[in-house]
Structure 1
Amino acid sequence: MGEEAMMHHQDMPLSKAPTMTIDTKAARTNSQASTDVPGSPTHEETDYPTSPRNFQNPFSRAQTSLEMDDYFVGPRDMSKHSKWPMFMRMHGSISPEMILPLLFVAGWSTLITCLSKFVYPLGTSNLLLTVLGFVVGLGLSFRSSTAYERYAEGRKYWTQLTLSAQCLARVFWVHGAEREGEEGKQDLLAKMTALNLIVAFAVSLKHRLRFEPYSGYDDLAGLIGHLDTFAKEATNKETVLHQKSGTLKSIGEYLGVSFAESNPRKLLKKANKPLGNLPLEILTYLASYVDETIGNGLLKVPMQQTLAYNNIAALNDVLTGTDRILNTPLPVAYSIAISQITWVYIVILPFQLYDYLQWVTIPGTICAAYIILGLLLIGREIENPFGNDVNDLPLDHFCQQLASDVDTISSLKKPKIADFVTHKDNMVLFPISASGYEAWAVRSEKKIRKELKLKMEIGYAARLDLQGDQKGNVKAGDEKV
């Protein structure tokens, strides 16, 4: 019955969507050529001031050259794929930070082994190995689980930000009415401004979480340059100028030398004017926009008004939640104690291994230190998920994706039901029928409901057939074995 129904309803072939090929290489060539030619802009450039030829995507790193920072500094580009086996990868590994500690461990274990071999036996009972091993394992487990909890919580907050931003953008664009004539154009431009502020909130929050409190950054200045904010008043060329670290300092940072690490809050300490709270100020402008649209009668439905205010409150919750994660690290007493206990365990390890391993004590101690220090450093690496390390959250990618989502919402005018329900290509009973809306509109309601029931029966039979095929494949594989 299912096969007959499928054949009966194939009365209209499925149309194939045309494909479009874009020569991105040629587009980049044209872009470079247009920017190199001096003179006044062309007519096309004047009509489209945000064309890619005139306006470089501030979120993209496609035009940057490959430097050492691209390999050792993050966050990691989620769009890149590596074919190297996981145990051979260096990008994102904490191995560079373990070079100096492991060299120290190698020298220390060599010293103890040589003294025990040629001078005086220093080997001791391995009782401490068991007792301290349990304590060290407990401390490292607590350190790693706490750090990953903060990492996961930071990702959850950014997911909440994306959800609230998408909902708020949809409320503004779809549910917000537009008046006629010149006022309608003003309403449209106001909507576009509000949507830009939603993206600006995410970008400003990213910079705030990275202790970059100003407004002159490339991906932010164009979105909020027209707003009156404390960050704008405090911004000048020196505050947003990125000073590249020296070679020795960069190497020290890559190797995890604490003396080479810069104070991440140095921009906050050097501020000469009040910095305010830029994301919070942007939310104030968004709330004012909602008040204005409600006052003008452009957002009439109470549920839609509540939805707008609730999503602004949700964005504020993200702001305070991420601030809590950033400014509430693991108590320093825990960090110091766990670090000290770990190093005590590693330092006394050669004494307890020598009687059993002799010269193998040296590589054995190094291997044990690699495992223990690796867990310790991973916990420190992901404790702050909002930084610029390779293993931190890719906030730049998240902001770029949100900007793309908002552009997707605003790319089309509010759809009318007649535009998509009564469309001739609307195959309402897909996949059992390729007939469009017009073919089913002339049939009776009884016939349509009968076909809906048949659709369920065909789907159920198809699932049973699929399960039978899977069981048959498993049985055939067992017989071959």
Structure 2
Amino acid sequence: MISYNPKSWWGLIFKFHKSDTFRRLLPAMLSVALFSAGIAYADQHLLPNQLKGTTALHALLGFVISMLLVFRTNTAYERWWEGRRLWGSLTNASRNLALKLDAYLPDGHPSRRLLAELIGAYADNLKHHLRVSISVEHRPNRIAAQLFAEVARLNSKGELSGDKLLCLNPDLSAFADICGGCERIQKTPIPYSYSLFLKKFIFLYIVSMPFCFVPDFHYWTALITTLVFYVLASLELIAEEIENPFGDDANDLPTDDIAANIRIRVRELLVHGETGHRR
């Protein structure tokens, strides 16, 4: 995820990042500009005054396509934000579980380090699990099973009472719930037919635009069409990138940082000797 200052207008306007849509769309933008310039040249020299287009139709279609793109980007952002909420819930569940275990288990207890490693490992394994399309082994489930097994073992030995086990259960169960929510986002993309229709609509809109604009704007049509294409295609590219927020693209969630933070904070609570903190 890119860290930036949203108040730095000039810095953002003149900064080009590797994920910037301008770079990615540059070949297509050049093609659109050449196509539009070719239509303008044909209208001026080969078939003078043969095009009798009107911009009214494209103004109406532009409103329609803008509504579709608003829905598209809003849907993609909702998926991105829901993913962030789920990882925030994972952070909270990990901290709450570590806080309770810190209170229930005495200093020097051999299970403290193991539980700290398992809680931290869950976030790491979930991060990697969400970045692959097909997993041979469901590693988050395996880590969660080890967590449950260790807590159950402590309960069977009398080191964790039944009341304490009931107190720990919501945080332990939250791990599987969060994993399921993330998998739902990862494995349920935007419907194919909608994405296909929107791309075709943008293509037809841009291809037909020069024929309607050339009679009024002549060679300026190349600039206008290219600019409109850049705006519309950029919105679609941004939506494509953020609709699956668990990858390692520039605008995806900072799951590496979140997982590392969970591991550090849990170890601070349960492995006091390694952080220099003693109760």
TM-score (norm 1): 0.53
Instruction: Tell me how far apart the structure 1 counterparts of residues 224 and 231 of structure 2 sit (CA, whole Å).
Output: 11
**Structure 1 CA distance, aligned partners of 2:271 and 2:116?**
12
- Aligned position for 2:214: 354
Aligned to 2:156: 295
Match of residue 71 from structure 2: 142
**Post-superposition offset of 1:86:** 1.2
List aligned pairs for 1:27-426, cutoff 5 A. Answer: 75-76=1-2, 78=3, 85-91=11-17, 92-120=19-47, 121-177=50-106, 185=108, 188-211=109-132, 265=133, 268=134, 275-300=136-161, 302=163, 304-412=164-272
Give distance in 2, aligned partners of 1:282 and 1:314: 13
- Would you say the 8 A contact 1:112–1:122 is kept in 2? no
Does the Cα contact within 8 Å between 2:116 and 2:271 map onto a contact in 1? Answer: no
Residue aligned with 2:248, SS: coil
TM-superposed deviation, 1:328 = 0.3
* Aligned amino acid, residue 89 of structure 2: Q
Q: Give the deviation of 1:134 after TM superposition.
A: 1.9
Residue identity opposite 2:101 in structure 1: F
Cα deviation for residue 176 of structure 1 reads 2.3
Question: What one-letter code is carried by the residue in structure 2 that aligns with 1:340?
Answer: K
Which digits, 9 at most, give the CA deviation of each residue in 1:87-108, with x for residues without a partner?
A: 1222242222111221111111
Higher relative CO (Cα under 8 Å, sequence separation at least 6) belongs to 2
State whether residues 115 and 122 of structure 1, in contact with CA within 8 Å, keep that contact through their aligned partners in structure 2: no
Which has a greater percent of helix? 2
Give, as a single letter, the amino acid of the residue that structure 2 aligns with 1:88: F
Give the aligned residue type for 2:16.
M
Give distance in 2, aligned partners of 1:193 and 1:408. Answer: 13
1:100-136 C-alpha deviation (Å, 9 max, x unpaired): 2211111111111111111123341223212211221
Q: Distance in 2 between matches of 1:342 and 1:176?
A: 61
Q: 2:73 touches 2:236 (CA, 8 Å); kept in 1?
A: yes
Give 3-state SS (helix, strand or coil) of 2:251's partner.
coil
CA distance in 1, matches of 2:146, 2:61: 57
Larger Rg belongs to: 1
Deviation at 1:400, TM superposition (A): 1.1
Structure 1 gap ranges (5+): 1-74, 179-184, 212-264, 269-273, 414-418, 420-481
SS of 1:384's equivalent? coil
Provide the TM-score with structure 2 as the length reference. 0.90
- Name the amino acid aligned to 2:161: K
Deviates most, 114-123 or 275-284? 114-123
Whole-angstrom CA distance in 2 between matches of 1:385 and 1:123: 46
For the residue of structure 2 that corresponds to 1:95, the secondary structure is: helix
Aligned to 2:276: none
**Alpha-carbon distance in structure 2 between the residues aligned to 1:339 and 1:371:** 13
Query: Which one-letter code corresponds to 1:319 in the other structure?
Result: C
Greater CA drift, 327-336 or 108-117: 108-117
CA separation in 2, counterparts of 1:352 and 1:122?
A: 8
Task: List per-residue Cα deviations over 1:316-335 (Å, max 9, x = no partner).
Answer: 00110000000001000000
Task: Report if the CA contact (8 A) 2:79-2:185 is conserved.
Answer: yes
RMSD over aligned Cα atoms: 2.0
- Is 1:150–1:384's contact at 8 Å kept on the other side of the alignment? yes
Q: Give unpaired runs (5+ residues) of structure 2.
A: 274-278
- Hey, what's the Cα distance between the residues in 2 that align with 1:122 and 1:386? 49
Contact kept, 8 Å, 1:116 with 1:123, in 2: the verdict is no
Matched position secondary structure for 1:207: helix
Question: 1:364 offset after TM fit, Å?
Answer: 1.2
Aligned-partner residue type, residue 11 of structure 2: P
Whole-Å Cα distance in 2 between the matches of residues 356 and 322 of structure 1? Answer: 51
Could you tell me how far apart the structure 2 residues matched to 1:290 and 1:177 are? 15
Post-superposition Cα deviations, 1:369-389, rounded to whole Å, max 9, x if no partner, equal 111111111111111101111
CA contact (8 A) 2:155 2:162 kept: no
